[in-house]
Structure 1
Amino acid sequence: MSQLLDRKLKHFFTLMDRDQSGTLELNDYLTTADNVRSAFGIAEGSAEHHELRQAFTRFWEDVIKPMDTNGNGHVNFDEYLTAYNAGVRDDPQGYQRMKPISDAILTIADTGSTGKVTADDFARALSGYGVPEPECRVAFTALDKDGSGFLTPDELQTAIEEYFLGTDPELPGNALFGRF
């Protein structure tokens, strides 16, 4: 695995560790879902809120929880990195398990129902992960490859793949979750 990818994964792990315990647990994922909900003014308990929490819960159950090799209910970074290498990076289908979260966020972030995400909505979505707004703006500019002022589902999917799988330091997707 490349040092670049290790650094990106450590950064994402740190963002997702919402309570800063040094481990990931389901509550970290639900907190992120709730933060994204709040950023978009979605009513607590609404169908959209439920769908978002379900996507994060499924991701926890299907991808993160199985990384807990010692069965303590928490995933530390070593467990995360080891399992990531075996289950996501090296398994072409492993990455697809991340798609429900990106789909749910894309649906919410597409506030104009245009199939595209604006810079403001992109920043709101990433603020739910704890990415500072100035870094969201830098990321948006890097990811908006055609300069349209919008991110399409394909541009977002490419960015996610580049962030979680890419080892080339020049990939625009490296900026997805801010500086690392």
Structure 2
Amino acid sequence: MLTEFQKRKLSLRFYMADTSKDGMVELADFEQQGQKVAELIGIQPGSTEYEKIISTYVANWEIYWKPADADGDNKITVDEYLKSADILIAENTGKKTKLRVNKAFFDSIDLDRDGEITLNEYTIYLKAVGRSEEDAKMAFSKIDTNGDGKLSRDEFATALYDYHASNDPQAPANRFFSLY
């Protein structure tokens, strides 16, 4: 069962993903995030690169968020999100699934597709969901556990999993979205 700390942390994540601020997370929120990323790096709608960015955000919705849609209305409430997180965290297989999914999510942030996420790429991602450059710098410094100035696919996946699953208020991964 999720602790109060986890519920608060995950609720903050939910409301950050709700880019339309209507109290629901849906596909349009992820399309909007992808559009913002493209805008921040100067990629024009209709280009191949633009479509790649949008498709990675759509995949994030499909793989990570849509399974939480318990009533099948293609909109996720915070309660649905928390129930889904509770189930995945409680299951031993949840960690393996989350790590696999988190590695796929990595691709939506690795904009140059070089297999690493730089501070610049991470900053663009967080700015697309309403965080500041300063927030991104602080968060990146916490989750770049080996201090090499980039996030590997495994480093990223583990930090994102730990953000969701950790019940330790001091865990560095709690700063993944610079919310805590």
Shorter-chain-normalised TM-score: which range?
Answer: 0.7 to 0.9
Match of 2:62 in 1: 61
What residue ranges of structure 2 are gaps of 5+ in the alignment? none
What one-letter code is carried by the residue in structure 2 that aligns with 1:92? K
| Alignment counterpart, residue 94 of structure 1, candidates 88, 92, 97 | 97
Match of 2:42 in 1: 41
- Give per-residue Cα distances to partners, 1:55-75, cap 9 Å, x unaligned: 322332344233223333321
TM-score by length of 2: 0.83
What one-letter code is carried by the residue in structure 2 that aligns with 1:94? T
**Partners of 1:19 and 1:174 in 2: CA distance:** 24
Runs of 4+ that moved beyond 6 A: none
2:80 is the counterpart of 1:76:
no
**1:83 Cα offset (Å):** 1.6
**Does the residue aligned with 1:160 lie in a helix, a strand or coil?**
helix
**Does the residue aligned with 1:94 lie in a helix, a strand or coil?**
helix
**Partners of 1:159 and 1:45 in 2: CA distance:** 33
Shifted more, 44-53 versus 122-131: the winner is 44-53
**Partners of 1:165 and 1:27 in 2: CA distance:** 26
**Partners of 1:92 and 1:118 in 2: CA distance:** 25
**Partners of 1:10 and 1:70 in 2: CA distance:** 19
What one-letter code is carried by the residue in structure 2 that aligns with 1:154? D
Contact 1:52 1:101 in 2 (8 A): no
**1:89 Cα offset (Å):** 5.3
Match of 2:144 in 1: 144
Match of 1:121 in 2: 121
**1:167 Cα offset (Å):** 1.9
What residue ranges of structure 1 are gaps of 5+ in the alignment? none
Q: How does 1:99-178 map onto structure 2 within 5 Å?
A: 99-106=103-110, 108=111, 113=114, 115-178=115-178
**Partners of 2:52 and 2:143 in 1: CA distance:** 26
In the comparison of the two structures, how many residue pairs are matched? 176
**1:166 Cα offset (Å):** 1.8
Contact 1:37 1:43 in 2 (8 A): yes
TM-score by length of 1: 0.83
